[in-house]
Structure 1
Amino acid sequence: MNVQERINAYWTGRAPDYDAYQQRPDRFADDQAAWSRVWSAALPVAPLDVLDVGTGTGQVAMVLAGLGHRVTGIDLSEGMLAEARRHAAAVADGPVIASGDAVAPDFPAASFDAVTSRYLMWTLREPRTAVANWARLLRPGGTIAVVDSTWFPGGLDNASENFTTHYDRQVQAVLPLAAATSIDQTVAVLEEVGLAKVTVTPLTEIYELDRRYGVAPNHEHQMQYLVTGTV
């Protein structure tokens, strides 16, 4: 398998458990409300045409559709896509879920008003190329909004999560943000691509929810950030 295929295989194997955690009934309503506020603040008023890259199980795509946006979610992990399609099919006006590469989404220029991602930047090969391609897909004044954190500042080899089978040294070598020690490294990617009005916002409400309910297995309680920029 090549690098991306190894990443895809990891997330396909993780998809059922990952989705079950996202759907935890004890915090689902609070999560939906909090993330709705995050994305409402990040994007202009609906309806927009939004591309959610690395959509995973579709959590962001579903929230955005619930806010009234016209959403397309893409991913390369078949396991994640299966979960996302199941969720999308269960609601009216749900997101369109399709196979697609977050680094080079196959859409015409100026197709969208916004591009979003959550928990993608750290595992994204060629992030500068990817963000430049996202900017090309935006109409004038469009927004790129990404959520991430510094999940593994000590490196994936020292992470409590077991990455060794798929995230080997060859994979890690093409993921420049995997061991980021500051969110400023993600901010720099958006700035270097030429986006305007790049801002970073600590997601304190999500931090407090994690404090109240606990974090995912093999993760630490830490701040997440929203990073936005415009074309």
Structure 2
Amino acid sequence: MTTHPLPQDSINAYWTGRAPEYDDYQQRPERRDHDRAAWAEIFGAVLPPAPAEVLDLGTGSGYVALLLAGLGHDVTATDLSEGMLARAREHAARAERAPRFLQGDAVAPDFADASFDAITNRYLMWTLREPERALANWRRVLRPGGVLALVDSTWFPTGLDRDTSADFVELYDDGVRALLPLAAATSIDATRDVVAAAGFEDVSVTPLQSILELDRRFGVAPDHEVQLQFLITARRGRD
């Protein structure tokens, strides 16, 4: 009998296969310091003062988690891709202040209620199954008044068929795509709206001009286009 992987298993396999190339691109020496300064300013402006307890979901190779730990926060970071986590842990072994990297599902983070002062993620929302369920859980594990700060864009406004790489076509098949309601969003408003619908307060969207300028200056990854990215922030109410 032929068995088929679960959709999330296919997503995990894709990102594990991409991990070395993805991580190497983020560490390009000609851009590394510029990126660090830009992202530190972006997250530093919206997160609580350090040291805050931060949960970075869908951490990938740990870029944001390591950045925030370097800024003095106590960071726990999760991902389901073993390949990405392996890269993240390699970086952590060399860091003066390292996050705690765990294997875990961003949709259902396995933490007690009101465990964190802030939740972050970057480039997760487009490939997130069950975003409504995920956001309800994120709100649950945030402390009253806690901050949600996520970054994403509309990467596939004309549909996921734009990416014709063999591994993407194979692993982001029709079954996977059907479970990712934000993957082909044509406006960042779709992501903003799902955050607001989950009961978060003070939801705002900020275009990230500094990252756009860096992308124009240094270029983007192969098979990608220069696109404006957005920071969405919100708070859990003090109910």
TM-score bracket for this pair, using the shorter chain length:
over 0.9
- Contact 1:15 1:83 (C-alpha < 8 Å) held by counterparts: yes
Summarize deviations over 1:118-174 as a string: whole Å, max 9, x none. 000000000111011011001110011110000011111123555211000000000
User: Is 1:99 aligned with 2:103?
Assistant: yes
Match of 2:138 among 134, 137, 150: 134
Query: Which residues of 2 match residues 184-223 of structure 1 at below 5 A?
Result: 184-223=189-228
Query: Using the alignment, how far apart are the partners of 1:158 and 1:56 within structure 2?
Result: 23
Whether the 8 Å contact between 1:161 and 1:219 is mirrored in structure 2 is: no
| The one of 21, 40, 47 aligned to 1:43 | 47
Distance in 2, Cα, partners of 1:142 & 1:200: 17
Secondary structure in structure 1 of the residue aligned to 2:107: coil
Q: Which amino acid aligns with 2:208?
A: L
Aligned-partner SS, 1:44: coil
* Aligned-pair Cα RMSD in Å: 0.8
Cα pair 1:54 1:73 within 8 Å, conserved: yes
Superposed CA offset, 1:44-64 (max 9, x none): 211100000000000000110
Alignment partner, residue 83 of structure 2: 79
Return 5+ residue gaps in structure 1 as ranges: none
After the TM superposition, which parts of structure 1 deviate over 2 Å for at least 4 consecutive aligned residues? 158-162
In the alignment, is the contact (CA less than 8 A) between 1:50 and 1:112 conserved in 2? yes
Matches of 1:19 and 1:142 in 2, distance apart?
Answer: 29
- Structure 1 residue 92: deviation in Å? 2.0
Q: Distance in 2 between matches of 1:79 and 1:186?
A: 27
TM-score (norm 2): 0.95
Q: Find the aligned partners of 1:223 and 1:191 in 2 and give their Cα distance.
A: 21
CA contact (8 A) 2:48 2:117 kept: no
The whole-number CA distance in structure 2 between the counterparts of 1:214 and 1:114 is 31
Question: 1:143, 1:230 within 8 Å by CA — same for their partners in 2?
Answer: yes
Q: 2:25 aligns with which of 21, 26, 30?
A: 21
Choose which of 164, 171, 175 in structure 2 pairs with 1:166: 171
TM-score by length of 1: 0.98
